[in-house]
């Protein structure tokens, strides 16, 4: 069952800040495909800048912030710890979200999911087309920058669509377990689609990696163990 698999995975997730006591630095994950592999839907220039500049900045800033947090912990400086929380949330969320996003895309993606995931989508949204429309609408509707998500609500045992502002991580802010994330920050599409976000969202469905999402209940459990606020170094 999809619910049993996702709940099993969630038990592997470490609590927020759980790695601060004895942590290694985070690193930028390699992409599982070339920068130009998602063309014509997402061009190589966007992918290179998005991965090597934007995601890298979140990783670097997260490492710096964690070092400062460690110092504040060692000094017992609660005021400094509180002051660092927004930076931890923003840069930690940026690292989490993008680490999920890259694996959610594939040059061999598109089409529809199969098996349990498709059945769960039909159960919770009526049909795949209705699900697609709802997630697209939620993503278009994000004001400013943020993300559209398909998540699993382990308390209710069903799939749920959500939108998060900025780099807020889905699980850390809503409790939903992330399955599919769509980045709607302008850096994800502006160089190709300008300010026409709906065109970008129409195109991205052609490269959604349903095999990756299927892997949640099959062979990719360990991959999702990294999707907590503090991601162990690879």
Among 100, 85, 41, CA closest to 228: 100
| Helix/strand/coil for 231 | coil
**According to the annotation, is 98 in a ligand binding site?**
yes
Return d(Cα 150, Cα 212) in angstroms, integer. 13
| Residue 218 host element (H or E) | none
Instruction: Write the DSSP symbol of residue 53.
Output: I
- Taking phi first (over 0 means left), then psi (-120 to 50 degrees means alpha), and beta for anything else, what does residue 111 get? left
CB 88 within 8 A of CB 216: no
Cα angle 102, 106, 108 (rounded to 5 degrees) comes to 175
**According to the annotation, is 214 in a ligand binding site?**
no
- Residues that constitute the known binding site: 50, 98, 183, 187
- Residues that constitute the known binding site for Mn(2+): 50, 98, 183, 187
């Amino acid at each position: 069952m999809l619910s049993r698999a996702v709940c099993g995975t969630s038990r592997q997730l470490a609590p927020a800040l759980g790695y601060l006591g004895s942590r290694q630095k985070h690193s930028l994950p390699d992409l599982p495909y070339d920068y130009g592999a998602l063309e014509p839907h997402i061009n190589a220039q966007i992918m290179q800048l998005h991965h090597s500049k934007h995601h890298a900045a979140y990783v670097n800033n997260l490492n710096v912030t964690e070092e400062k947090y460690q110092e504040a912990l060692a000094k017992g400086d609660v005021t400094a710890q509180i002051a660092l929380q927004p930076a931890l949330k923003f840069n930690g969320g940026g690292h989490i979200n993008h680490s999920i996003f890259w694996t959610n895309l594939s040059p061999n993606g598109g089409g529809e999911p199969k098996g349990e995931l498709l059945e769960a989508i039909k159960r919770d949204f009526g049909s795949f087309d209705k699900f697609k429309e709802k997630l697209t609408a939620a993503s278009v509707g994000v004001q400013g920058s943020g993300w559209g998500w398909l998540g699993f609500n382990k308390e209710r045992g069903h799939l749920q669509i959500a939108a998060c502002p900025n780099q807020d991580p889905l699980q850390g802010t809503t409790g939903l377990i992330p399955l599919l994330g769509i980045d709607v920050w302008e850096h994800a599409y502006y160089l190709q689609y300008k300010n026409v976000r709906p065109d970008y969202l129409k195109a991205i469905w052609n490269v959604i990696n349903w095999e990756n999402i299927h892997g949640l209940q099959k062979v990719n459990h360990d991959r999702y163990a990294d999707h907590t606020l503090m991601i162990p170094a690879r």
